[in-house]
Amino acid sequence: MLIYKKRKTMNAKKMNFIYVGALLLISNIVGAQEYKTKLMPKDSSLIYINGEGTFLHLGKQDGANFNLATTIQSGFQFNQLDSTNGKTNSNRLSLNMVRVSFTASGLRDKVSLGIVNDFTGTSGILEGWVGISVLNNHGKLILGQKQTNTNNRLAMADERYSSVMAQSIAGTSNDGIVYGGLMQNFVGATREGGIFFETNFDFNKCRIYPSVSITTGKGQNFFSTQSGPGFKYGGRIDVMPMGDFKKNGAYVADDIYRESKPKLAIGVAGSYNVQANSPIGSANGGVVGIYKGGVASDANYRKLVADAIFKCNGFAVVGEYINGTIAGKDLYTNASSKTELTTQVASSMYNMGSAFNAQGSYINPSGWAFNLRFAHITPENYIATSLVHNQSWYTAGVNKYLSGNAMKIGLNVNYVDDNNSAIHKKTLIGNLAIQLIF
């Protein structure tokens, strides 16, 4: 049965409560560790690692650690659109990505923080968070804006390691070809603001990573004014029956670290966005024309995700599935409450339907990577104004990794068949890009 939660108003008091709680917890940890830190012998090191940036270590082995990395990606794109309105060609040169990331940890890794500045996006701060380690460093409580745990696997990956290089603005999946059709239709913003809890443990020979979150439900708007009530509640669990991947390899499409033994990760995630006021529940506003009791309202937006990744000796295979639906009770399309909101009408307000993504790649020891990707999107209901259409996405690409992933040169070709009954579009997109990380 569909459940409607009472409309709430998000205001400064809620955000202040979150901040105060986090600061109190941090201050308790700092107080307990301050005396021990003063007694530790001092030494330091400064190291540059290709593809990962500069690392600064201060103090003894358990002292403070800092990492600074800059990413610049430039590209050339060719676009050919063939539709019922005719054929058009366009070219462009662009800075696909200009970012500076800074992470730090201290007090025996009890406290950590991260900031990612995006100079090609619509907001200067793409990520900003502070984390506190708990459960003997087997868990972490995080406050701020970061990549959320409720999306598909590759939406949790750092864009620097994407197998497809192309323009992407402010970390949103619907502004370029980088992410593919599944994410463009059902993810939107890959970052969200709120409270996240992550933990990990072993069960027999399996490595298990559960996580839960409560976010604003407005995507990458944690540091700006937000409208609308409700929060987004979600969780995810990843099971790795063959043990941990190297570094962040479970969330990177290519096997850039070349796993010497077979590794498998299987994940399931879900989220429930109360009164989502944007079509994918990842932005601030955009949905109008829904009423409850004669007052403007919104539907609840639900997402279910299942995915898996397998890697071994340079080979990698990824499969992802996502389903988006709405929920709500006594919702109407007029203030007089005479016309009930149907799923057909709602399909022109929310991205409803399902999609799957399958991709495979191989990277040889000299750094040449070859990849293929296919995604198909199916609407739950389709009318002329539906936001989701029947689509098929095909991608083929080749990348060359140099100097330990510090430099990447890539070429990819993408074909999108958008079977919209109003305007049937076929798009051919080619990208040539160069990326530097230092």
Give the CATH number for residue 394. Answer: 2.40.160.10
| Confidence (pLDDT) at 9 | 37
Q: Which two tokens stand for residue 179?
A: 């992410």
> Is 113 domain-assigned?
yes
Average pLDDT over residues 286-300: 92
> Is 219 domain-assigned?
yes
Which of 31-35, 201-205, 290-294, 371-375 has the largest mean confidence? 371-375
CB 273 within 8 A of CB 297: no
pLDDT exceeds cutoff 90 at 415: yes
| Confidence (pLDDT) at 165 | 93
> Is 5 domain-assigned?
no
Confidence grade of residue 421 (pLDDT, cut at 50, 70, 90): confident
> Is 1 domain-assigned?
no
Predicted confidence (pLDDT) per residue in 19-35, tens digit: 434 444 444 443 434 43
Nearest alpha-carbon partner for 145 in 95, 203, 220, 67: 220
Nearest alpha-carbon partner for 235 in 283, 305, 179, 157: 305
> Is 358 domain-assigned?
yes
Which of 83-97, 121-135, 200-214 has the largest mean confidence? 200-214
Asked which of 67-71, 189-193, 212-216, 360-364 is least confident by mean pLDDT, the reply is 189-193
| Confidence (pLDDT) at 214 | 96
pLDDT exceeds cutoff 90 at 8: no
| Confidence (pLDDT) at 50 | 87
Asked which of 129-133, 331-335, 423-427 is least confident by mean pLDDT, the reply is 423-427
> Is 6 domain-assigned?
no
| Other CB atoms within 10 A of residue 421 CB | 11
Higher model confidence: residue 167 or residue 212? 212
- The pTM score is 0.86
DSSP, residue by residue, 287-335:
----EETTEE---EEEEEEEEEEEEETTEEEEEEEEEEEEE-SS-BSST
Q: How far apart are CA 364 and CA 360, in angstroms?
A: 14
E-state strands within 334-383: 353-363, 368-379
Average pLDDT over the chain reads 87
Which of 8-17, 31-40, 60-69 has the largest mean confidence? 60-69
Asked which of 72-81, 119-128, 147-156 is least confident by mean pLDDT, the reply is 119-128
pLDDT exceeds cutoff 60 at 346: yes
pLDDT exceeds cutoff 80 at 397: yes
403, amino acid identity: S
Total domains present in the chain: 1
Measured at the CA of 169, the angle between CA 233 and CA 195, to 5 degrees, comes to 25
Phi, psi of 298 (to 5 degrees): -145, 160
Q: Which two tokens stand for residue 222?
A: 């944690």
| Confidence (pLDDT) at 227 | 67
Phi, psi of 387 (to 5 degrees): -75, -30
> Is 61 domain-assigned?
yes
Residues 6+ apart with CB under 8 A from 11: none
pLDDT exceeds cutoff 80 at 59: no
Nearest alpha-carbon partner for 68 in 107, 126, 29, 116: 116
| Confidence (pLDDT) at 121 | 73
Asked which of 153-157, 277-281, 283-287 is least confident by mean pLDDT, the reply is 283-287
Q: 3-class DSSP state for residue 56? A: strand
Confidence grade of residue 42 (pLDDT, cut at 50, 70, 90): low
Higher model confidence: residue 282 or residue 115? 115
> Is 70 domain-assigned?
yes
Average pLDDT over residues 248-270: 96
Confidence grade of residue 136 (pLDDT, cut at 50, 70, 90): confident
Confidence grade of residue 39 (pLDDT, cut at 50, 70, 90): very low
Confidence grade of residue 125 (pLDDT, cut at 50, 70, 90): confident
Q: Look up the domain containing 53 and give its range.
A: 16-437
Q: How far apart are CA 372 and CA 354, in angstroms?
A: 21
